[in-house]
């Protein structure tokens, strides 16, 4: 099976885990702190605002708590989105207000976000679809102008930037995913970055039960008497990462540039080989100054055949999918909002395999089979 997503792990990651085992400390410790420092350097941001957490979802839930959302608050987010974003909003008592997206990039435009703002809007959550930054500069400026917090779900965009600024750092809070399907992985895991220093300190407390310090992680016996006593300021939870997964993360982060370079080469091959395939529309090019992560590669087909094409490719041993089904259509968040470009994208878009483990032969096989099944299904011309 040629898969859509696939991690790249090897001996270097195993050796990093062995080193953690040899130190006999598996929890939050020196390797976690080192990884946080390395990730902050990757983002070109201050170290104290970065926290390694056990999942991107944990980071999103914490982001909404840090913003002190509650009943009566609205949060604008694109409907083409992962369910965790809406859940993180709704659990606070606030309500997600879904906005439309550009049907080609599947990212919201500034206009889409602005149209969805209400007098109750307290935050905007933006997903960089497939690693394409989208209109993040303009959306960030709009949020500053309106006094609305901006949260960036940068799960897909670990290497994406606009004019040298990394995606995830335009807003007040950014969250990255390191789960098993992402470009780099720690198995499960995520990174939270908080711009405001005081909110960042609160995030560190919330990530470990609301405790001011983590006495069990440090040699507190050398610093004070009765080191086992707790200093707890508020109710928190356990969302921290650990040295085993952080050790994997450090190795993966060093390999990131190579992974992205290979994914870029695959995307360029798809662009070239699919350019003349009738009935298949490829992703729009990145604007000047934009750098992508190439997490998704999507094509758009006639809606009448998209599902059948996916089934035919699966029969050929090629796994494709669509992410993310519109949240405004779900039973939990069903909305009366009219989002025509979201609906169009959801019915026509198909993600092709793209990961650094694909060979050139794999890519050629995907293109050849796609062209064949689209032709067999009578795929007509689509607007490029």
Q: How far is residue 334's CA from residue 98's CA, in Å, rounded to a whole number?
A: 10
Label residue 75 by pLDDT band (50, 70, 90): very high
Label residue 125 by pLDDT band (50, 70, 90): very high
**Same domain assignment for residues 239 and 275:** no
Which one of the listed residues 182, 204, 341, 355 is annotated catalytic?
182
- Residue 231: predicted pLDDT: 83
Label residue 101 by pLDDT band (50, 70, 90): very high
Indicate the residue among 251, 275, 299 that finishes a domain: 251
Q: Is the pLDDT of residue 174 over 70?
A: yes
Indicate the residue among 210, 228, 251 that finishes a domain: 251
Whether 41 is in a domain gets the answer yes
Q: Nearest Cα to 316, choosing from 352, 268, 272?
A: 352
Q: The domain that contains 126 carries what CATH number?
A: 3.40.640.10
Which pair of tokens denotes residue 161? 């930037």
Label residue 214 by pLDDT band (50, 70, 90): low
DSSP state of 136: H
- Structural domain range at position 295: 256-376
Indicate the residue among 198, 229, 251 that finishes a domain: 251
- Residue 160: predicted pLDDT: 98
Q: How far is residue 333's CA from residue 81's CA, in Å, rounded to a whole number?
A: 12
The share of the chain scoring above pLDDT 70, in percent, equals 95
**Same domain assignment for residues 242 and 320:** no
The total number of structural domains in the chain stands at 2
Which pair of tokens denotes residue 266? 């695959």
Q: Is the pLDDT of residue 321 over 60?
A: yes
Whether 288 is in a domain gets the answer yes
Question: pLDDT digit string (tens) for 238-283?
Answer: 999 999 999 999 999 999 999 999 999 999 999 999 998 999 999 9
**Same domain assignment for residues 263 and 158:** no
Say whether 182 is catalytic.
Answer: yes
* 25-47 average pLDDT score: 97
**Same domain assignment for residues 46 and 105:** yes
Please write down the long-range contacts of 372-375, taking CB distance under 8 Å and 24 or more positions apart: 373/308, 373/309, 373/312, 373/313, 373/316, 374/277, 374/278, 374/279, 374/280, 374/301, 374/305, 374/309, 375/278, 375/279
Q: Is the pLDDT of residue 216 over 90?
A: no
* 198-209 average pLDDT score: 96
Q: Is the pLDDT of residue 301 over 60?
A: yes
**Same domain assignment for residues 350 and 235:** no
């Amino acid at each position: 099976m040629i898969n859509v997503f696939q991690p790249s792990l090897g001996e270097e990651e195993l050796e990093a885990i062995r080193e953690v085992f040899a130190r006999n400390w598996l929890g939050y410790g020196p390797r976690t702190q080192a990884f946080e420092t390395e990730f902050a350097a990757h983002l070109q941001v201050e170290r104290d605002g970065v926290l390694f957490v056990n999942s991107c979802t944990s980071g999103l839930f914490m982001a909404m708590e840090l913003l002190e959302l509650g009943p009566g608050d609205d949060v604008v987010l694109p409907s083409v989105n992962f369910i965790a974003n809406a859940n993180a909003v709704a659990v606070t008592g606030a309500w997600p207000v879904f906005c439309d997206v550009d049907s080609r990039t599947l990212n919201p435009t500034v206009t889409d976000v602005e149209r969805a703002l209400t007098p109750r809007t307290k935050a905007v959550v933006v997903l960089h679809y497939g690693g394409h930054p989208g209109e993040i500069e303009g959306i960030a400026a709009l949020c500053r102008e309106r006094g609305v917090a901006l949260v960036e779900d940068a799960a897909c965009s670990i290497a994406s930037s606009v004019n040298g600024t990394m995606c995830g750092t335009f807003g007040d809070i950014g969250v990255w995913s390191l789960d098993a399907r992402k470009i780099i992985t720690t198995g499960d895991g995520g990174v939270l970055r908080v711009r405001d220093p005081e909110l960042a300190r609160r995030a560190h407390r919330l990530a470990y039960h609301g405790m001011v310090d983590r006495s069990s992680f440090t040699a507190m016996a050398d610093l004070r008497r009765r080191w086992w006593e707790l200093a707890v300021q508020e109710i928190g939870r356990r969302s921290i990462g650990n040295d085993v997964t952080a050790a994997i993360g450090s190795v993966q982060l060093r390999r990131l540039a190579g992974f992205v370079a290979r994914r870029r080469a695959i995307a360029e091959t798809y662009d070239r080989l699919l350019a003349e395939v009738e009935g298949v529309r490829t992703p729009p090019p990145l604007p000047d100054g934009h750098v992508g992560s190439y997490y998704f590669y999507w094509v758009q087909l006639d809606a009448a055949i998209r599902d059948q094409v996916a089934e035919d490719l699966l029969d050929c041993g090629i796994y494709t999918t669509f992410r993310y089904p519109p949240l405004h259509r779900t039973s939990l968040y069903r909305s009366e909002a009219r989002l025509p470009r979201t609906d169009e994208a959801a019915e026509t878009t198909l993600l092709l395999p793209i990961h650094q483990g694909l060979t050139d032969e794999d890519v050629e096989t995907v293109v050849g089979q796609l062209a064949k099944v689209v032709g067999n299904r009578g795929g007509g011309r689509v607007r490029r």
